[in-house]
Amino acid sequence: MLQTRYLPLGVAMIVIGCARPGPLRELVPVSGLVTYAMEPLSTGTIVFQPPAGPPAFARLRDDGTFALDAVVGTNQVIIESRAEAEPSEDARPTRGASLIPEKYSQPGNGLTVEIEAGAPQYFEFDLQD
């Protein structure tokens, strides 16, 4: 006969709590404004991608502003803004046309910022053709 042994709940909690945590990432509040040809970009997303780890992202507000918590250090910035997608005849998902040059929605687009530890920071991005 197979015998099952159970650990008391407190012992199980200690074992679970002993997992090795990942590196701590210092986050700083970041806000700003995104414009395209000097006009606020009223729809889209902005992503701050650190060299390692998950990105921080936010939706752009109607006035082109954003707020998020970004990782301290150099962050690549990716911005995407698309028109509402037209329904397709075959029910496949489609993406709307880009409202800004596609280069800004790709990694390696040349937009980078340095996030410094400490106080909140503000950035403005004026995208051009």
* 9 domain-assigned: no
* Mean pLDDT of all residues in 87-104: 82
Structural domains in the chain (count): 1
* 6 domain-assigned: no
* 122 domain-assigned: yes
Question: Does residue 90 register a pLDDT over 90?
Answer: no
Residue 11's φ and ψ, nearest 5 degrees, are: -65, -40
Tokens standing for 73?
Answer: 């250090």
* 120 domain-assigned: yes
Specify the pLDDT at position 7.
42
* 2 domain-assigned: no
CB 92 within 8 A of CB 46: no
* 4 domain-assigned: no
Starting from the edge strand earliest in sequence, which strands make up the sheet with 73-80, in order? 56-59, 45-49, 73-80, 112-115
- The 10s digit of each residue's pLDDT in 9-21 is 444 444 444 444 4
Longest distance between any two alpha carbons in the chain, whole Å: 77
- Domain housing 40: 25-127
* 19 domain-assigned: no
Q: CATH number, domain at 61?
A: 2.60.40.10
